[in-house]
Structure 1
Amino acid sequence: MPDTVDVAQTPVRLLLRGRFGWFFLGRTVDVAGTSMTTVALALAVLKASGNATDLGIVLAVGFVPTIALLLVGGAVADRMSRRGLLINANLASGILMAAMAALLITGRYHLALFAALSFLNGIVSAFITPALRGIVPELVERHDLQRANALLSSTRNTVRILAPVAASLLVATAGGGWSLAIDAATFFLAALCFTRIPGATRPPGAGQPLWRDLADGWSTFRSLRWVVLVSLSCAFLNGFNVGPWNVLGPQIVTGHDGALGWGTVLSVRAVGLLVTSVVAVKLVFRRPLRSGRIWGVLCALPLIALGLSGSAWVVAVAGFIGGLGFSVSAITWDSTMQAAVPQESLSRVAAYDDLFSYAVIPVSQVLSGPLAQAYGAKEVCAVGGFAYVVVCLFPLLNRQVRTM
């Protein structure tokens, strides 16, 4: 029996009506603003301060509270309206981004103020992510979850290709302050779209202490063995992949084909992500967890290509294929969690899943350089790629992962 079934006979346009349609539009605008902010903020801070250290501080203080408060964000998203949380969080992000823009436009850039605003924005981000992962099952029927996630993924990948270019052009022409002002407007627009989701999408949670919600979420997470196995697998996958790819990849490809080669690799990989997201809208995987693990093996190919070749065109082709695998793996994982995890605990379980995945990334990035110096950059990438294959397939030893 094939692992996929074509569901093209159900018009996708039906998913884009009503509650999910407004969420889809708001999420697209939200991703556009976030993607622009990443580039615009970096360029604006560098231009205003002329100091890369300032940029490092601003980015770091924005990342730390997101990790530290992610579990709290999941608990809050499970005990109140996720719709309301998304509206308020986007309004807060818009206000913070507008404040940054005002500082730049008026020529009053100051590191301490920017770092404080970035820190506050990091707090807001900790509440947005769990709410986003938990709200989709409230807006579509269970059998539409995978297609809904594929639609969200396709627009997300498209925006992430275009938004950085748009942000760079805005900084170069209008200036960093006005670029951030436009970014702020996208958050306000996203909040407006979320207000069009009718009514409260879920009842408020019980009035027990927050720490009890966190403990209950952990108990639910631990009780779902298939979630624990895949979450731990994803943590190791990030450890083997993120650092070598982001730290050593540019060094290897640039040394082989120059800076343009690495940019080409990233663009081609992004196309692979987009193509698979679009195709996935038309398909439903019969055994999504199994399919996601098998397709996920393709993500190892870019690392292996870096280790065995380093040529830009070889790594680009591998990156395109790896993008296919990453999209299928991500879409099937989100859809399975949304369908199988109890709704009242979904944001907390998703937060624990994200925490495992995120926590290992800084470690991977820090260790990649020393390991490359000790054993060679290509060697580290090759070993990481082959280890990725093993860790990706490991959850298939569990029967529930294979047959769900």
Structure 2
Amino acid sequence: MKTAAHVPGTRTAPWRSAAFRRFVLANLISATGSAMAPLALAYAVIGEGGGAGSLGLVLAVNTVPTVAFLLVGGVLADRMSRSRILLVGNLVAAAAQGALAVIVLSGAASTASIAACGFLSGVAVAFTVPAGQGVVNQLVAAEHLQRANALVRLPSNAVRVLGPVVGGLVVALCGPGWALSWDALTFLIAALLLHGLRLDAPVTAHSALSDLRAGWAGFRSRTWLWTYTVAGMVVVAAWLAGFQMLGPVLAATLYSGARSWGLVQGAFALGLLAGALVCLWWKPYRLLAVAVCTASLLFLPLTAMGLGLPLPAVLFAALIAGVGLDVAIVAWTTAFQLHIPDAELGRAGSFNSVGERLAIPLGYLLAALAAGAWSDREVLLVCAGVIVAATVLNLCVRDVYRINRTTPKPS
């Protein structure tokens, strides 16, 4: 497989590489559509007469194929050209979103047809996520990985600040079909940009099943990797249950409702943007330990809302949590790329992603059950405590402190 060491000119700063700029631009353009898509999808379901149940069904149908096919995507990412997988995945996503836009604009949308398009989009995600995790490694030398990862996230985080606002205006003025049309177009443009990367495919003499078994053996043998995945699954479940599910409910009762919740989400998005900027200059030595610690800052807004603190305190807590999360993502991604062989990145990443995505329904289910026994504020505080407890337990793993910036990657 072609790596940064074999690509001429990649020993320079990442931004001087034309291939890297092409990859970042593809991610940025795709992000502008993806930032509008959730709002547009929700109003597309509402527009055809569906309620919370219909929207939940659509979201579930979108998530299930992603989880189901992630391991297949991980195996293919280590057997095929990753740029080719990203190209095809973006084309499939463009087709799915384009079909959804057409049926919404034509007035023929139904819960079943929207869910069918969502299923196809979920399949595309299952293949593009593992492939995308190994692309930066092939474009940038090891000493530039953290800066490159921060540069990939920086423009996308900026879009997350403005995207929902612009998406809301487009949906309000033109309808959800046009926002979905833009999402489809961005996937198509991204596919055309990714077509120019032309990364080499790895050479393998093993069967796909053998590769999957070897990938699982490698994942299981790395204590730092599977313990981080398990801890991450717990943190993601608690965060989604507290922030995404109960946050809007608390905002309606404790603050001014949608307006306040929009400010909280905006503060969190600004924190993500600031976190990417931090990673451009701060290069911590103990990458994994930093990732574990900074991700734990997600407990702050949950605690602030659970205690009923004034809105400015919640906004500040959300801002700091956003900074911490993006620093954690960049530090984790860099550690992952440095300490996993290039030939195993797809499979290792897919096992990690399966754990995090399984946390989504788990977190919502447990929060719904807990809400029957405790108040919403008490559940938020429990979620915050779970995040802290998972962090402390993960920091007790000795291997966490071995995954640093200078340890050479195994061959």
Structure 1 and Structure 2 fold alike (TM over 0.5):
yes
Shift of 1:69: 1.0
AA paired with 1:18? A
Aligned-partner Cα distance in 1 for 2:231–2:51: 38
Q: 36-45 or 188-197: which moved more? A: 36-45
Rate the CA distance shift 1:120–1:282 in 2: closer, same or farther, 3 A: same
Q: Deviations for 1:191-249, whole angstroms, at most 9, x for unmatched residues?
A: 1111222x3x2334425332222111101101111111211111111232221222222
**Which residue of structure 2 aligns with residue 39 of structure 1?**
39
Q: Deviations for 1:298-338, whole angstroms, at most 9, x for unmatched residues?
A: 22111221222253222211111111211111110011001
Aligned-partner Cα distance in 2 for 1:81–1:68: 22
Aligned-partner Cα distance in 2 for 1:384–1:179: 34
Aligned-partner Cα distance in 2 for 1:50–1:223: 47
**Which residue of structure 1 aligns with residue 7 of structure 2?**
none
Q: Answer whether contact 1:307 1:382 (CA < 8 A) is retained.
A: yes
Rate the CA distance shift 1:176–1:383 in 2: closer, same or farther, 3 A: closer
Aligned-partner Cα distance in 2 for 1:194–1:36: 22
**Which residue of structure 1 aligns with residue 279 of structure 2?**
280
Q: What SS class does the counterpart of residue 375 from structure 1 fall into?
A: coil
Matching of residues 4-403 of structure 1 within 5 Å:
14-197=14-197, 199=198, 201-259=199-257, 260-403=259-402
Shift of 1:50: 4.9
Aligned-partner Cα distance in 1 for 2:274–2:159: 13
Aligned-partner Cα distance in 2 for 1:16–1:191: 22
Aligned-residue identity in percent: 34
Shift of 1:14: 4.7
Rate the CA distance shift 1:254–1:107 in 2: closer, same or farther, 3 A: closer
Q: Deviations for 1:342-401, whole angstroms, at most 9, x for unmatched residues?
A: 111111101111111111221111221331231222222223213322311323323331
- For normalisation by structure 2, the TM-score amounts to 0.90
Q: Answer whether contact 2:146 2:334 (CA < 8 A) is retained.
A: yes
Q: Answer whether contact 1:300 1:388 (CA < 8 A) is retained.
A: yes
Structure 1: gaps spanning 5 or more residues: 1-10
AA paired with 2:365? V
Q: What SS class does the counterpart of residue 112 from structure 1 fall into?
A: helix
Q: What SS class does the counterpart of residue 351 from structure 2 fall into?
A: helix
Q: What SS class does the counterpart of residue 69 from structure 1 fall into?
A: helix
Q: Answer whether contact 2:101 2:181 (CA < 8 A) is retained.
A: yes
The count of corresponding residues between Structure 1 and Structure 2 is 392
AA paired with 2:306? G
Aligned-partner Cα distance in 1 for 2:400–2:362: 28
Q: Answer whether contact 1:87 1:192 (CA < 8 A) is retained.
A: yes
Q: After TM superposition, which residue ranges in structure 1, 4 or more long, deviate above 3 angstroms? A: 11-14, 48-54
Q: Deviations for 1:134-164, whole angstroms, at most 9, x for unmatched residues?
A: 2111111111111111112222211112222
Q: What SS class does the counterpart of residue 208 from structure 1 fall into?
A: coil
Q: What SS class does the counterpart of residue 49 from structure 1 fall into?
A: coil
Q: What SS class does the counterpart of residue 80 from structure 1 fall into?
A: coil
Rate the CA distance shift 1:345–1:251 in 2: closer, same or farther, 3 A: same
Structure 2: gaps spanning 5 or more residues: 1-10, 405-411
Q: What SS class does the counterpart of residue 201 from structure 2 fall into?
A: coil
Shift of 1:341: 0.3
Q: What SS class does the counterpart of residue 284 from structure 1 fall into?
A: coil
Shift of 1:44: 2.2
Q: Deviations for 1:166-193, whole angstroms, at most 9, x for unmatched residues?
A: 2222222222222222211101110111
Q: Deviations for 1:56-91, whole angstroms, at most 9, x for unmatched residues?
A: 322221111111111111111111000000011111
Q: Answer whether contact 2:45 2:110 (CA < 8 A) is retained.
A: no
AA paired with 1:142? A
